[in-house]
Amino acid sequence: MYTSVVRLQNVFGFFTTVAFVVAAFIAASDFVAERAPIVRTLKTTSVQVVRGRPHYYSSKKEEYAVINFSLDADLSSLFTWNTKQVFVYVTAEWPAADHSTTNATNEAVIWDSIITSPSADHLANHWSRRHEEAAQERGREDGKLVLKNQRHKYKITHPSGKLATTENVTLRLHYNVQPWVGLLTWNQDVDYGYWKALKNGVSKRFKLPAIKEKKPASAGSR
């Protein structure tokens, strides 16, 4: 601490230690913040299977499931001072067609949305939001999502190209909490301390219908 240079180095060194400790405390404060996500409704409103091409120049025809749904959920308790954003997504799940591979499942996101916390609003980039969904999709009111007959964002396929008449399909709501610093966390099926499980986040089982013959221009969002 004799010369200015040494003092500069020492202060900076101690600053990094202190900053790290504070960051650790901030990250740990997540564990004492209560999380109680509520799902009131998650149900399909229309289900179709259409034939289409993966992209405009492709000659291959595949079957696409087009699923629209309604969702009423309150994820506001996920927002604390350390929350940067919550990534909400709805997946469709169905068991493998051939039962040779036991218990194998297929899972695909049909809709997702980023809800930035107020502290990260300046980072939300609107260009990536897709046109008509933009307004309702953001769910800006502290994570309260009320979606009625929401259009799917992604048409789903299967590597085999076959999807029609698939049985036992369910929709499932998920979330991923992105902190400013610390651990990334997802929805959980059981309670951990102050964090309650996400209940009721699964739709009723449904069956994909037979192919509806129509001419889709192209399966734009794959």
Partner 1 sequence: MAEQLLDQIRDVAEGQIDFEGQKLVELLVNVTLALTAVVAFLVGYILQDIKLALQIGLAGTALTFVIAVPPWPFYNRNPVKWLQVGGGLVPPQNLIIDEKSFR
Partner 2 sequence: MLSSLANPRQAAVQLMNFGLILSTAFMMWKGLSVITDSPSPIVVVLSGSMEPAFQRGDLLFLWNRNVVTETSVGEVVVYSVKGKDIPIVHRIVRKFGKGPEAKLLTKGDNNVSDDTELYASGQDYLVRKDIIGSVFAYIPFVGYVTILLSEHPWLKTVMLGLMGLVVVLQRE
139-158: contacts with partner 2 (CB under 8 A): 154, 156, 158
Contact 185, 177 (CB under 8 A): yes
Binding residues for partner 1 restricted to 77-136, rule: CB under 8 A: 80-82, 119
Determine if 10 is a binding residue for partner 1 (CB under 8 A): yes
Q: Which of residues 45-64 bind partner 1 (CB under 8 A)?
A: none
Nearer to partner 1, 79 or 111 (CB): 79
Q: Among residues 81, 80, 49, which one has the least CA distance to residue 66?
A: 49
Give the three-state DSSP class for 129. Answer: coil
| 22 is a contact residue toward partner 1 (CB under 8 A) | yes
Look-up of token digits 């734009």: 220
Contact by Cβ (8 Å): 173, 39: yes
Stretch binding partner 1 (CB under 8 A), from 64-72, 74-82, 102-110, 145-153: 74-82
124 binds partner 2 (CB under 8 A): yes
Q: Is residue 127 helix, strand or coil?
A: helix
Q: Is the dihedral of CA 115, 121, 127, 131 positive or negative?
A: positive
Contacted by 101, from partner 2, partner 1, none: CB < 5 to 8 Å by type: partner 2
Q: Please enumerate in sequence order all residues whose Cβ is within 8 A of that of 28, keeping only pairs 6 or more positions apart, or say none.
A: 182
Residue of 33, 38, 109, 211 interacting with partner 2 (CB under 8 A):
109
Binding residues for partner 1, rule: CB under 8 A, are 1-5, 7-8, 10-11, 14-15, 18-19, 21-22, 25-26, 29, 80-82, 119, 180
